[in-house]
Amino acid sequence: MALPTSTFNTYEAIGNREDLIDKIYKTSPTDTPLISAIERVKASAVNHEWQTQALAAADTNNAVLEGDDAVTDAATPTVRLGNIAQISDKVPRVSGTQQAVEHAGRANEMDYQIGLKTQELKIDMEAIVFGTNQVKNAGAVGTARRTASILTWLKTNNSSGATGAAPVTADGAALRTDGTQRAFSEALLKSVLQSIWTNGGKPGTIAVGGGNKQAFSTFTGRSTPMEEASSKKIVASVDFYDSDFGKQKVMASRNMRTRDCLILQMNMWALATLRNMKMSDLAKTGDSQRVQVMTEYSLEARNEKSSGIVGDLTVPT
């Protein structure tokens, strides 16, 4: 049908109000499961330090003569370790005009931008601590300080592909060497779990990327999806793994490297903050407002023998 003659319609109208709802929908991921799971402690210096202690190896010849004088055993000193505090920030900037106009979905533009940048900063921190192969750097006048990431601590309990290797020292000062990637398997996982147990660790968390979380769900005993007829639901995931050395929570992390599987005793890792996250108004240099969202932090590796890594994994397609 044709539009009747002289019918005033929306194509000709001037001044119809826009239909913009007062909401903003955001799909970008904001979860930081690993950094949220470790303890928070207070740092009081740029070089945050702690000590570890090891016991002497078992002595199967520990037998003494009756009535003999006691022989003093050698003491095992502590090991002093440390990590450098890194400064990370986000700085939103809003013009005076944008702050003054009426907005949809937020009452105050600067407050909204601060909220976004705060979430982004937390994601940056998780990706730096758990998703980079970064050694500590004390910095200089023209060099930003950097905290050693978890990959540069995990030396003892390590599985690498061909040409790959753990860092040569377990102190955050040496990089992990990436090797030839291989498929994630239960045998690789079991090998590292046993190594951790042998060295006294009690891990409870396994973290992998999304692709290898799906691969994990096909391990022995869970290789076929199960249907719950009563609830009309198919269960095809593994959230807990009951290993020979304890029950493990299995989580997918978006912010770690997809080639790594981290096996962690979470209470042996902490985020040490020299300065907690805070907001500071920056000096005005024109018709705009700037706010710095900033924090200063380092990773505390209380004893790397408590945890391990299955590295150099391919990502299933």
The string of DSSP letters for 109-129 reads: HHHHHHHHHHHHHHHHHHHHH
23 domain residue, yes or no: no
Q: Is residue 8 assigned to a domain?
A: no
Sheet containing 308-310: order of strands: 158-159, 308-310, 261-264, 205-208, 246-252, 240-243
pLDDT at 229 (0 to 100): 57
Phi, psi for residue 34 in degrees, rounded to 5: -80, -50
Whole-angstrom Cα distance, residue 266 to residue 128? 17
Rounded to whole angstroms, the Cα distance separating 81 from 268 reads: 14
Is 43 a member of any domain?
yes
Q: What is the pLDDT of residue 20?
A: 81
Q: Would you say residue 147 lies in a domain?
A: yes
Q: Does residue 316 form part of some domain?
A: no
Stretch (H or E) spanning 86: strand 86-90
* Domain enclosing residue 87, as ranges: 33-50+79-310
Residue 66 domain-assigned?
Answer: no
- Residue 259: per-residue pLDDT: 97
Helix (H, G, I), strand (E, B) or coil at 252: strand
pLDDT at 23: 81
The answer to whether residue 62 is domain-embedded is: no
Per-residue pLDDT of the chain (317 residues; tens, 9 = 90+): 788 887 888 888 888 888 888 887 777 778 899 999 999 999 999 999 999 998 988 999 999 999 999 999 999 999 999 999 999 999 999 999 999 999 989 999 999 999 999 999 999 999 999 999 999 999 999 999 999 999 999 999 999 999 999 999 999 999 999 999 999 999 999 999 999 999 999 999 999 999 999 999 888 755 555 555 566 565 667 889 999 999 999 999 999 999 999 999 999 999 999 999 999 999 999 999 999 999 999 999 999 999 999 999 999 87
- Looking at the structure of the chain, the number of domains it has is 1
pLDDT at position 316, please? 84
Considering the domain boundaries, does residue 69 fall inside one? Answer: no
